[in-house]
């Protein structure tokens, strides 16, 4: 009950955050120099056509009114037309977002468990070889930029040991998958095409790995540090001194308070993948939101930029809600704090 | 053999901590004996090594601590040399520790019920209690420390309880384990006097009825006098005076003990005492001789470089002090 109330409060407050976000984005869009009508219609368009465009798109109204029009359209999923692809931005996003979501989920969720596992192993074998190995690899992986991994993977797994489809993309051309969710692995499984699902998985595996290796190791380090810090706390000494076996102490009493910081960091890492996957998406030819957004920026396609920024903002807000809920489940003190 | 009657004997225990590559020698050859069924006091200022001694007994020192030498004999077996399984058994049935700081001794994200029942399950591992029996035992223990509404407390998280309640929960958890030896590290310092009194009486009662042995760690001489039959006065990691509580209180012989007693506010006294000038020495460079030497009003030249040995004061009372040995210490 307390948990439900806290979650409701959290959702309500995030609506305010999102509204604020739209104002900022809209203001930025207006602050960018250049006539939107001219940008949309090109340098040779006659003045009457430009005027008509302004009239239709409410560009002659005061900015707050323009914001209202824009917001009411945006709420209905209409972000205008992309000047670069010449299609509705919403349609573009419908095509690109599932690819990114699929990539981000695979780069975000399984690595969390790997990170927790490595962190726990590392802490339990402090200053022994599993710890040294994890920390050594950790330094290397954290310090290596994602695109370096991407290039290395293509070199190693594309050419030397050809297990990976080097053309990139999401699927080999011989397969077609009926779209259901837009996420190919799931769709292929729903459509009863295990071979296509495996192919989609291979396409996904290496970009996901490239994106997640550094973050995974960083999260493992945070888990290790907080486990070691908590291991000397009185409440652990207390149960140890009562003769509770070490395994039970670690599993039931030490792990729970120690994963809370990792979960928080992991949430932010996860959300940042939506916008930061650009280089990896480019190298693997992955038709995702990051590369779409980057193209939009390079082509001064303001409608598309705004939509992409809004979606990234949504991802952050959504993830932080999930993280808060998980934190509330793990830490009873958070529930209390939220209802106050 | 004298070991027969002693449940615990600590012999020449030295413990050091390593903090930022500096080794601090906290415990220096501590000797402490607890006869079976007796309540023994350990008194001294904050930071003199009382808690370290308690934790060393259960093998739960922080990870930066290092036991340099010594033996901790529990019923004749050295705890420090026990294999893991035997050590676990010792912790489950042998000795239990009441923690000093109630705000940190309970896991903040786990319910009292789970903490309590897990601890009890292992403390009574040999008896094969059902979880309902364990639950009843826990409720009984919470009642014994005068906590109202124990069922609600069982379903609470530590942050929902007050400091005093948390401390009583900790005390109840340790007492419910029904160990042979109770290590009480300043029990009740966070409680008001009436509840503290109640808990001390509870412990005293357990000593008398269940033949429980206790080490009572405190900086309150009043508690020592009330509960213990023997006392050890600890200063800067060494025990400087010890023996029968009455004899030590009647004829305190170490300058530190005398100073400590002078610090007690007296109902009939005139104002606040002056305290003991100076402070506990730095453990990374402790004085070579007697560790109390820099603060001692009776200090002799030899105190600077030599560590005093035991001097018998009366039949059950000894002191480690050169000045006392020469008869130069006279209580005011």
pLDDT tens digit string along B49-88?
Answer: 888 999 999 988 888 888 988 889 998 889 888 999 899 9
ipTM computed for the complex? 0.83
Residue B280 DSSP label: P
Q: How far is CA B160 from CA A3, A149, B165, in A?
A: 16, 48, 10
Integer Cα distance of B293 and B281 in angstroms = 10
B31 three-state secondary structure: strand
| pLDDT at residue A66 is higher than 70 | yes
Integer Cα distance of A255 and A45 in angstroms = 65
* Residues of A with Cβ-Cβ distance to B106 under 8 angstroms: 235, 238
* Residues of B with Cβ-Cβ distance to A236 under 8 angstroms: 107
> What's the pLDDT at B256?
87
Please provide residue A129's backbone torsions phi and psi, each rounded to the nearest 5 degrees.
Answer: -60, -40
A-B contacts (CB, under 8 Å)? 88
What mean pLDDT do residues A160-165 have? 80
Comparing CA positions, the residue from B116, B125, B135 lying closest to residue B93 is B125
CA distance B97 to chain A (A): 7
Q: Which of B104, B107, B177 sits opposite A242 (nearest CB)?
A: B177
| pLDDT at residue A29 is higher than 70 | yes
Integer Cα distance of A334 and B5 in angstroms = 52
Integer Cα distance of A248 and A239 in angstroms = 10
Tens digits of residue pLDDT in B161-219:
888 888 889 889 988 888 889 898 888 776 778 888 888 888 888 888 888 899 999 88
Integer Cα distance of B72 and B69 in angstroms = 10
Residue B275: give the domain boundaries. 255-332
> What's the pLDDT at A118?
92
CATH number of the domain that residue A139 is part of = 1.10.3720.10
End-to-end CA distance of chain B: 39
* Residues of A with Cβ-Cβ distance to B177 under 8 angstroms: 242
> What's the pLDDT at B332?
46
Sheet holding B22-35: strands in order across? B22-35, B6-19, B65-74, B77-78
Number of domains in chain B: 1
Per the CB < 8 A criterion, the answer to whether A88 and A82 are in contact is yes
In a domain, A64, yes or no: no
Integer Cα distance of B210 and B93 in angstroms = 14
In a domain, A137, yes or no: yes
* Residues of B with Cβ-Cβ distance to A241 under 8 angstroms: 55, 58, 60, 91, 96-97
In a domain, B317, yes or no: yes
Q: Which of B91, B104, B115 sits opposite A243 (nearest CB)?
A: B91
**B110 and A252: CB-CB below 8 Å?**
yes
* Mean of per-residue pLDDT scores for chain B: 84
| pLDDT at residue A103 is higher than 50 | yes
Q: Which of A235, A242, A331 sits opposite B106 (nearest CB)?
A: A235
Interface residue ranges in chain A relative to chain B, Cβ cutoff 8 Å: 231-245, 248, 252-253, 256-257, 260, 330-333, 336
- Higher pLDDT residue, A91 or B272? A91
**A237 and B55: CB-CB below 8 Å?**
yes
For the stretch A85-90, contacts whose Cβ atoms lie closer than 8 Å and that sit 24 or more positions apart, written own/partner, are A85/A301, A85/A304, A89/A303, A89/A304, A89/A307, A90/A307
In a domain, B289, yes or no: yes
| Proportion of chain B in helix, strand, coil states, percent, rounded to 5 | 40, 25, 35
* Residues of A with Cβ-Cβ distance to B159 under 8 angstroms: 332-333, 336
* Residues of A with Cβ-Cβ distance to B104 under 8 angstroms: 233-235
> What's the pLDDT at A122?
92
> What's the pLDDT at B268?
62
Distance of CA B64 to the CA centre of its chain: 21
Planar angle of CA A253, A256, A257, nearest 5 degrees: 90
Kindly state the percentage of chain A with pLDDT values over 90: 11
Show the tokens assigned to A76.
Answer: 């209905």
In a domain, A282, yes or no: yes
State the maximum Cα–Cα separation within chain A, in Å, rounded to a whole number.
86
Residue A88 DSSP label: B
What mean pLDDT do residues A76-96 have? 85
In a domain, A45, yes or no: no
> What's the pLDDT at B283?
77
Integer Cα distance of A259 and A120 in angstroms = 10
Integer Cα distance of A217 and B283 in angstroms = 39
In a domain, A295, yes or no: yes
What mean pLDDT do residues A142-166 have? 85
Integer-rounded Cα radius of gyration of chain B: 20
Integer Cα distance of A315 and A249 in angstroms = 36
**A235 and B88: CB-CB below 8 Å?**
no
Burial annotation A110-141 (CB, 10 A radius, 16+ → b, else e): ebbeebbebbbbbbbeeeeeebeebbeebeeb
CA distance A204 to chain B (A): 38
In a domain, A337, yes or no: no
Comparing A190-194, A212-216, A278-282, B325-329, which segment has the lowest mean pLDDT? B325-329
In a domain, B193, yes or no: no
Integer Cα distance of A327 and A330 in angstroms = 5
| pLDDT at residue B3 is higher than 60 | no
* Residues of B with Cβ-Cβ distance to A335 under 8 angstroms: none
Interface residue ranges in chain B relative to chain A, Cβ cutoff 8 Å: 55, 58, 60, 62-63, 88-93, 96-97, 99, 101, 104-111, 114-115, 118-119, 122-123, 125, 157, 159-160, 170, 173-174, 177
**B88 and A243: CB-CB below 8 Å?**
yes
* Residues of B with Cβ-Cβ distance to A257 under 8 angstroms: 107-109
Q: Which of B96, B111, B160 sits opposite A242 (nearest CB)?
A: B96
DSSP letters along B127-164, please? GT--HHHHHHHHHHHHHHTT-S-HHHHHTS-GGGS-HH
* Mean of per-residue pLDDT scores for chain A: 85
Q: How far is CA A299 from CA A74, A122, A293, A296, B308, in A?
A: 21, 47, 10, 5, 87
- DSSP lists the bridge partners of residue B41 as B216, B231
**A333 and B109: CB-CB below 8 Å?**
yes
Which residues are within 8 A (CB) of B250 and not within 5 positions of it... i.e. 6 or more apart?
Answer: none
Residue A176: give the domain boundaries. 92-312
Planar angle of CA A116, A122, A127, nearest 5 degrees: 165
Comparing CA positions, the residue from A258, A284, A43, A267 lying closest to residue A155 is A284
DSSP letters along A196-212, please? HHHHHHHHHHHHHHHHH
Number of domains in chain A: 1
Show the tokens assigned to B213.
Answer: 């042995």
**B273 burial type by CB count under 10 A (0-12 exposed, 13-18 middle, 19+ buried):** middle
In a domain, B316, yes or no: yes
In a domain, A252, yes or no: yes
Distance of CA A120 to the CA centre of its chain: 25
Q: Find tokens 């409680």 and name the residue.
A: B191
* Residues of B with Cβ-Cβ distance to A242 under 8 angstroms: 91-92, 96, 119, 122-123, 173-174, 177
Q: Which of B92, B108, B174 sits opposite A257 (nearest CB)?
A: B108
Comparing CA positions, the residue from B107, B301, B126 lying closest to residue A257 is B107
**A244 and B119: CB-CB below 8 Å?**
yes
């Amino acid at each position: 009950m307390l948990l439900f109330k806290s979650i409701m409060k959290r959702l309500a407050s995030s609506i305010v955050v999102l509204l604020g976000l739209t104002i900022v984005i809209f203001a930025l869009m207006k602050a960018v120099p250049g006539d939107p009508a001219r940008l949309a219609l090109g340098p040779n368009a006659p003045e009457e056509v430009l005027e008509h465009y302004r009239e239709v798109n409410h560009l002659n109204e005061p900015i707050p009114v323009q914001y209202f029009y824009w917001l009411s359209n945006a709420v209905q999923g209409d972000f205008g037309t992309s000047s670069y692809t010449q299609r509705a931005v919403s349609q573009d996003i419908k095509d690109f977002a599932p690819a990114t979501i699929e990539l981000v989920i695979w780069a975000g969720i399984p690595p969390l468990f790997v990170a927790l596992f490595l962190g726990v192993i590392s802490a339990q074998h402090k200053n022994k070889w599993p710890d040294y190995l994890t920390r050594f690899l950790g330094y290397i992986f954290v310090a290596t930029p994602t695109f370096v991994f991407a290039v290395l993977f293509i070199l190693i797994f594309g050419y030397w040991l050809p297990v990976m489809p080097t053309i990139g993309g999401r699927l080999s051309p011989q397969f077609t998958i009926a779209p259901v969710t837009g996420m190919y692995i799931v769709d292929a499984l729903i459509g009863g095409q295990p071979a296509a699902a495996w192919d989609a998985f291979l396409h996904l595996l290496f970009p996901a790995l490239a994106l997640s290796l550094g973050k995974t190791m960083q999260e493992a380090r945070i888990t290790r540090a907080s486990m070691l810090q908590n291991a000397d706390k009185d409440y652990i000494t207390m149960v140890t001194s009562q003769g509770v076996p070490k395994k039970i102490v670690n599993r039931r009493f030490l792990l729970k308070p120690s994963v809370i910081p990792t979960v928080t960091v992991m949430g932010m890492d996860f959300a940042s993948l939506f916008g930061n996957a650009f280089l990896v998406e480019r190298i693997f030819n992955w038709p995702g939101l990051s590369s779409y957004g980057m193209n939009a920026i390079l082509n001064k396609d303001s409608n598309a930029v705004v939509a992409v920024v809004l979606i990234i903002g949504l991802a952050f807000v959504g993830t932080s809600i999930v993280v808060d809920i998980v934190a509330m489940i793990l830490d009873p003190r958070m529930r209390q704090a939220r209802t106050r | 053999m004298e070991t027969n009657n002693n449940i615990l004997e600590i012999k020449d225990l030295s413990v050091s901590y390593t903090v930022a590559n500096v080794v601090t020698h906290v415990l220096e050859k501590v000797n402490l004996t607890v006869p079976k069924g007796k309540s023994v006091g350990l008194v001294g200022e904050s930071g003199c090594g009382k808690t370290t001694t308690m934790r060393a007994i259960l093998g739960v020192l922080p990870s930066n601590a290092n036991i340099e030498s010594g033996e901790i004999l529990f019923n004749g077996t050295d705890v420090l040399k026990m294999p893991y399984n035997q050590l676990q058994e010792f912790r489950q049935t042998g000795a239990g520790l009441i923690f000093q700081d109630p705000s940190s001794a309970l896991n903040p994200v786990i319910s009292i019920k789970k903490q309590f029942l897990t601890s009890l399950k292992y403390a009574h591992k040999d008896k094969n209690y059902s979880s309902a029996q364990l639950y009843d035992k826990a409720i009984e223990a919470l009642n014994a420390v005068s906590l109202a509404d124990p069922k609600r407390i069982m379903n609470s998280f530590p942050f929902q309880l007050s400091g005093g309640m948390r401390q009583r929960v900790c005390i109840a958890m340790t007492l419910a384990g029904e160990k042979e030896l109770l290590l009480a590290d300043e029990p009740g310092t966070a409680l008001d006097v009436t509840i503290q009194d109640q808990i001390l009486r509870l412990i005293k009662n357990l000593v008398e009825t269940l033949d429980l042995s206790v080490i009572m760690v405190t900086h309150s001489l009043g508690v020592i006098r009330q509960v213990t039959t023997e006392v050890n006065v600890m200063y800067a990691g060494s025990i400087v005076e010890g023996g029968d509580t009455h004899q030590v209180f009647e004829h305190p012989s170490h300058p530190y003990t005398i100073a400590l007693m002078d610090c007690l506010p007296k109902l009939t006294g005139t104002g606040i005492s002056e305290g003991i000038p100076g402070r506990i020495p730095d453990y990374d460079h402790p004085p070579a001789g007697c560790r109390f030497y820099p603060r001692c009003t009776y200090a002799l030249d030899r105190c600077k470089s030599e560590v005093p040995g035991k001097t018998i004061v009366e039949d059950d009372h000894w002191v480690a002090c050169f000045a006392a040995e020469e008869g130069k210490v006279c209580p005011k």
